[in-house]
Structure 1
């Protein structure tokens, strides 16, 4: 698939099954991340891969974090749903920003670089026929999840990228009109 086709047609795939991306697909997806815009070449991103039985351990981390953040016991249904979250895909990539002090590159821009790396991975995955979707939410910002994953004090989770084989054909990308989002600025 050529680059413009992938960029114009990429969509998230919500229903993912085994197998996870193979080694060749992974390398192409990972290499795409390394081309993200990166002011001062800080390379603020890093990624953890969670698969196999480690997904169950991640579910336990999610459950512990959810129980403590709620302040009240979760129902059994909530507990089971939380434990099963990482089982939605055979591979989860945790996108992490390593925040660095830099006089010209604020923390926000470092997060944006990580987001650019994630977007590049999503597009590369689409081009490779791999289904993916990006999740954030309260667990991405939960300090207990960060601790459970072994993050350093200066690291933040920017999302969980769920990867696998699409369970069905990808939906068609919406036909958005360029003129609805782009206009020429004219000085007064």
Structure 2
């Protein structure tokens, strides 16, 4: 396989554009389909495709915010109005959010952890796909990915788990890069 310098340069400079800096236009239906196709090209032991996608766009983003606000107000009555209002904006202003759900299940050969990691890779590949098509993306989880009532309200079925929500839109600013970890400090060589 020949070296791909453009891909290398992209990976060395890839960065997240956070949801507050993502705006219209979002991807077209064809662009979204291409992103999801790319998202599915991940390591997947056993070819199980142990993930699925949920699309939140248009007015659905506002309805999700209202539901998250109401649920948070009920679960945490001590939260103030500003904290609760933040729940209304969880899927805004990005024009599109894709929920990525792990459908990992017991299997005679493939550990559930491997299936969960495949779903996580689909999340990250979706971020790469958005970038490749000229959009910005942010992969987040937040409390509602793990809280059972919220996850169900957002579309998770029994036995499923959100691995992330990928906000996608057009970047409205050029963010500065942050300091990255030194791989030498994170690497050891096994010597038996």
Structure-2-length-normalised TM-score: 0.86
Cα pair distance change 1:22/1:46, threshold 3 Å: same
Report the aligned-residue RMSD: 2.1
Q: 2:170 aligns with which of 162, 165, 174?
A: 165
Partner of 2:105: 100
Alignment partners' CA distance in 1, 2:130 and 2:6: 13
> Is 2:104 the counterpart of 1:66?
no
CA offset digits 1:32-66 (Å, max 9, x no partner): 21111111111111111101100011112212332
Q: 1:76 aligns with which of 46, 58, 81?
A: 81
Partner of 1:133: 138
The answer for unaligned runs of 5 or more in structure 2 is none
> How many residue pairs end up in the alignment?
186
8 Å contact kept, 1:6–1:123: no
Q: 1:13 aligns with which of 17, 20, 29?
A: 17
Alignment partners' CA distance in 2, 1:9 and 1:25: 23
Partner of 1:90: 95
Q: Structure 1 segments of 4 or more deviating over 3 A?
A: 170-178, 180-183
8 Å contact kept, 2:124–2:139: no
The answer for unaligned runs of 5 or more in structure 1 is none
Alignment partners' CA distance in 2, 1:52 and 1:114: 25
Structure-1-length-normalised TM-score: 0.88
Cα pair distance change 1:170/1:21, threshold 3 Å: farther
Q: Displacement, 1:5?
A: 2.7
Alignment partners' CA distance in 2, 1:112 and 1:2: 26
Range with bigger deviation, 161-170 or 57-66: 57-66
Higher relative contact order, structure no. (Cα contacts within 8 Å, ≥ 6 residues apart): 1
